[in-house]
Amino acid sequence: MRAFDVERARFNMVEQQVRTWDVLDQEVLDLLFTVRREEFVPVAYRGIAFADLEIPLGDGQRMWTPKMEARVLQDLAIRPGESVLEIGTGSAYFTALLAARGALVTSVEIDAARAMEARAKLARHGFAKARVEVGDGARGWGRESYDAVVLTGATPVLPDAFVAQVKPGGRLFAVVGEAPAMKARLLRSAGGSALVARDLFETVIPSLANAVATERFVF
């Protein structure tokens, strides 16, 4: 694609997809122009980097759509210097958006090759302080607490371990449930260890590898 075509496609993505999903935070909108999505998309799919699609990453995993990336970034309301735990690095684009907002990001990726590629992308674009760890974060990660926790894959059941990792005043985003009834949910600290949940929208996305399954009764 020529440079002019790329910028027109980016502009159309913001105006026709993102704004129509009630993303009106100008700082978030500006980041969509400065953090170049096409450079985080797998090479084979760069021609559709700005389409309203979930782009395949391999192993059944997919990037969020641009409007979902922007909406979640807006609703998390990340402030510079805040710590963020991201479960599921994927393409590292959402990691880059978090880092561009000034967050101190720890991102966990179960696939070692994908984690290595993510580190390279982040370093290449100046986000070397965003840390990518290799491991299974589907049930929590380490013992530290964070200002925000983000699960980029769905989980049928939200483990209590993630709730415990949210600092007072913090936020937790997760897509909870099973297809075809998944809820994008934002939980906010209500003082002490209590979190108040708000459902933002319905969606269906791939689950985290080894996500906690719903218990099923056998009769």
Write out pLDDT tens, residues 166-194.
999 999 999 999 999 899 999 998 876 68
Tokens for 209, please give them. 């590898």
Q: Classify domain 3-203 at the CATH topology level.
A: Rossmann fold (3.40.50)
Instruction: Kindly write down the DSSP assignment for every residue of 139-176, as one continuous string.
Output: TB-SS--EEEEEESSBBSS--HHHHHTEEEEEEEEEEE
Helix (H/G/I), strand (E/B), else coil: 146: strand
- What is the model's pLDDT at position 215? 66
Considering only CA atoms, which of 135, 186, 31 is closest in space to residue 93? 31
Q: What size, in residues, is the chain?
A: 219
Q: Is the pLDDT of residue 219 over 80?
A: no
- What is the model's pLDDT at position 129? 86
List, in order, residues 6 or more apart from 188 with CB less than 8 Å away.
170, 171, 172, 195, 196, 198
Write out pLDDT tens, residues 77-134.
999 999 999 999 999 999 999 999 999 999 999 999 999 999 999 999 999 889 999 9
Tokens for 57, please give them. 């990453």
pTM value is 0.94
- What is the model's pLDDT at position 1? 43
Write out pLDDT tens, residues 145-173.
999 999 999 999 999 999 999 999 999 99
List, in order, residues 6 or more apart from 43 with CB less than 8 Å away.
none
Tokens for 54, please give them. 């979930």
Write out pLDDT tens, residues 13-39.
999 999 999 999 999 999 999 999 999
